[in-house]
Amino acid sequence: MTERPPLILGSTSRYRREMLQRLRLPFDVQSPQVDETPGASEAPSALALRLALAKANEVAARFPHAAVIGSDQVADLAGRPIGKPGDHARATEQLRAMRGQAVVFQTAVAVVCLAKQYEASALVPVTVRFRDLSDAEIEHYLRAEQPYDCAGSAKSEALGIALLRAIESDDPTALVGLPLIKTCELLRGAGVDPLIA
């Protein structure tokens, strides 16, 4: 049996860190130094995949013997990328645009281990159907949650669930930012199995 490589999460997201903790694997966290500017007319799904791979590869270059997880999420409203709002005004604008709409949260994950010459990635889309929200509901939600660091201002793991009519996905954890079913599959390919000590 080959030795399990150390595991690194290449992300500064506290949400992804909390998700990865569910697997009960020891891991380190490193901040990837990646320019997240979208390319001209780059589709949200392509952007999410490119950034997930770029984050994993950048950290793996510094830690070549580790299995490095990179992930990214881009909200897709009719082909238009919706990022993290950063402030209340932009969050209000985002939620007004998404009310009554179906938004696809394009969540990508990549695992890279240079020592094993392993690189794999996957896209796990989540379709979120928003209710036809009133301005008062949007304001109450934003004041309560302040989800300014969440793609599309939607924080479904808390009060944000009340914004929605439905969530459709093969992996419900993908909406929070790290699709754990696919992550486990990619990690097994790198020699890290959460069910084998």
Residues annotated catalytic, as ranges: 72
H or E element: which one contains 10?
Answer: strand 7-10
Nearest residue to 176 (alpha-carbon basis) of 142, 135, 139, 147: 147
Could you tell me the CA-to-CA distances from 100 to 155, 160, 177 in Å, in that order? 17, 15, 22
Beta strands of 13-66 (E only): which ranges? 28-30
Tell me how far apart the alpha carbons of residues 104 and 41 are, in angstroms, rounded to a whole number: 17
For 25, residues 6+ apart whose C-beta sits below 8 A from its C-beta are 7, 192, 194
Q: Return the bridge partners of 124, or none.
A: 107
Give the C-alpha distances (Å, rounded to integers) separating 36 from 76, 109, 119, 193, 195.
16, 15, 20, 30, 34
Residue 74, strand partner residues: 106
| CA 113 to the chain's CA centroid | 20
Biggest alpha carbon distance in the chain? 58
